[in-house]
Amino acid sequence: MSEGTRRAIRAALASNLVLLVLKSAAAILTGSSVMVAESLHSVVDSINQSFLAVGLRLSSGGGNGSFPFGRGREQFFWSFVAAMSTTTISGTLAVLEGAEKLIYGESLRDLWVALAIVLAGLTLEGTALAVSFRSFELARRSEGFRSRLSYVRSTRNPTLLAALFEDMASVSGLLVALVSLLLVMLTGDVVYDALGSIIVGAILAFFGLSLAREAKGLLVGEGLLPSELQRIIGVVSSHPAVARVIDVRGTFLGVDSAILGVEVNFRDGLTTDEIESAINELESRIRRVFPQAKYVYVEAEEIRGR
Task: Tell me which residue range forms the domain holding 257.
Answer: 226-300
- DSSP-derived letter for residue 223 is B
Domain C-terminal end among 185, 219, 253: 219
Same domain? 79 vs 123: yes
- Cβ contact 290:232 at 8 Å: yes
Q: Give residue-wise pLDDT tens across range 266-300.
A: 999 899 999 999 999 999 999 999 999 999 999 98
Q: How does residue 4 score in pLDDT terms, banded at 50, 70 and 90? A: low
Q: How does residue 195 score in pLDDT terms, banded at 50, 70 and 90? A: very high
- Cβ contact 15:124 at 8 Å: yes
Same domain? 38 vs 157: yes
Same domain? 202 vs 125: yes
Q: Is the pLDDT of residue 208 over 50?
A: yes
Same domain? 237 vs 264: yes
**Strands 257-266 and 242-254: what pairing?**
antiparallel
Same domain? 251 vs 172: no
Closest CA to 166 of 59, 72, 87, 78: 87
Same domain? 205 vs 66: yes
Same domain? 199 vs 230: no
Which CATH number fits the domain that encloses residue 239?
3.30.70.1350
pLDDT score for 304: 61
Domain C-terminal end among 219, 245, 276: 219
Q: Give residue-wise pLDDT tens across range 219-274.
A: 888 889 888 999 999 999 999 999 999 999 999 998 888 999 999 999 998 999 99
Same domain? 270 vs 291: yes
Kindly report the pTM of this predicted structure: 0.79
Tell me if 305 is assigned to some domain: no
Q: Give residue-wise pLDDT tens across range 79-122.
A: 898 888 888 888 888 899 889 888 887 788 888 998 999 999 89
Same domain? 107 vs 9: yes
Domain C-terminal end among 219, 248, 280: 219
Same domain? 139 vs 235: no
Same domain? 48 vs 170: yes
Q: What is the mean pLDDT of residues 171-189?
A: 92
Q: Is the pLDDT of residue 306 over 60?
A: no
For 246-267, b/e burial (b = at least 16 CB within 10 A) is bebebebbbbebbbbebbbbbe
pLDDT score for 2: 55
pLDDT score for 10: 74
Q: Give residue-wise pLDDT tens across range 48-62.
A: 888 888 888 888 776
Q: Tell me what the pLDDT averaged over the chain comes to.
A: 87
pLDDT score for 247: 93
- CA-based radius of gyration for the chain: 25
Q: Is the pLDDT of residue 129 over 50?
A: yes
Q: Is the pLDDT of residue 78 over 70?
A: yes
Same domain? 159 vs 240: no
Report the number of distinct structural domains present in the chain: 2
Tell me if 306 is assigned to some domain: no
Q: What is the mean pLDDT of residues 25-31?
A: 88
What is the three-state SS of 103-117?
Answer: HHCCCCCCHHHHHHH
Tell me if 239 is assigned to some domain: yes
